[in-house]
Amino acid sequence: METATYLETFFQGSPEAVAGCLRCRGAQRYEGVLRMAFQPIVDVGARSVFAYEALVRGAQGESAGQVIGQVAPEQLYGFDQTCRVLAIDTARRLGLNARLSINFLPNAVYEPATCIRLTLAAAHKVGFPPERLVFEITEGEKIRDPEHALKIVRDYQQRGFLTAIDDFGAGYSGLNLLATFQPHLVKLDMALVRDIHRDRPRQAIVSGVLGACRALDVQVIAEGVETADEYAWLREAGITLFQGYWIGRPALEALPEPHWERL
């Protein structure tokens, strides 16, 4: 007898929703066991939690890289949908009252209006306000069809979701992504943040990115901040949104409190 997947169990009573979703372009069921960790993103200007980012983990807490590395290409769509629903379900169970930031795989989204249905159905089922959702498109994944990715982002923005470019400066597209569409948020990759207080090239690059984002009315999040010196330089540069181990480490199935005393 075939074991029910997480999506089929979550949407028990309306199996046609999942079945219809997985029929899209022949997507296969994702049967792996996943869990979610959460890491705070803080607004130091308002001294509040701006959002919690949902980070996928394996059944035993394995890292996102380990988990994604075991997902077959034909399961990518089911995996992406499972992560979205599980993030919303877990966040609501933990009593999250801030925004929820979810990574999505643009190569796994076929039709934006269709692929968002399970996400909205999950939010409705558990009572999570959909306007609190933030969708991060990672620069680390090579986007096979930039026009399609743009279509996804525009659809999400029209629905009132915040959008973000994750890992900015680390991957395949860089400034081209920012030029193609203007998200609400850009997350500086930790490679740019590391030791920025004593690295003039990184300082020059980040200063340029900040200037471009200000001109485009895009907010910047400094991601991967691990030291007081990094934080101090970035704060002096005008950044108010921060994420990283120095601010607060990810916690498995918990909403960790930021280290406010360090800010």
Q: What is the pLDDT of residue 1?
A: 39
Secondary structure (DSSP) of the chain: -PPPPHHHHHTTT-HHHHHHHHTGGGPPP----EEEEEEEEEETTTTEEEEEEEEEEETT---HHHHHTT--GGGHHHHHHHHHHHHHHHHHHTT--SEEEEEE-GGG-S-HHHHTHHHHHHHHHHT--GGGEEEEEETTSPPS-HHHHHHHHHHHHHTT-EEEEEEETTSS-THHHHHH---SEEEE-HHHHTTGGG-HHHHHHHHHHHHHHHHTT-EEEEES--SHHHHHHHHHTT--EEESTTT---EETS-PPP-GGG-
Q: What is the pLDDT of residue 11?
A: 87
Q: What is the pLDDT of residue 110?
A: 56
Q: What is the pLDDT of residue 19?
A: 56
CA–CA separation, 24 and 49 (whole Å): 37
What stretches in the chain show pLDDT beneath 50? 1
Q: What is the pLDDT of residue 213?
A: 95
- The residues spanned by each domain of the chain are 5-257
Mean pLDDT over the full length of the chain: 87
Return the CATH superfamily for domain 5-257. EAL domain (3.20.20.450)
Q: What is the pLDDT of residue 13?
A: 65
Reference 16, options 8, 5, 4, 26; nearest CA is 8
Q: What is the pLDDT of residue 94?
A: 98
> Under a CB-based contact definition with an 8 Å cutoff, are residues 60 and 250 in contact?
no
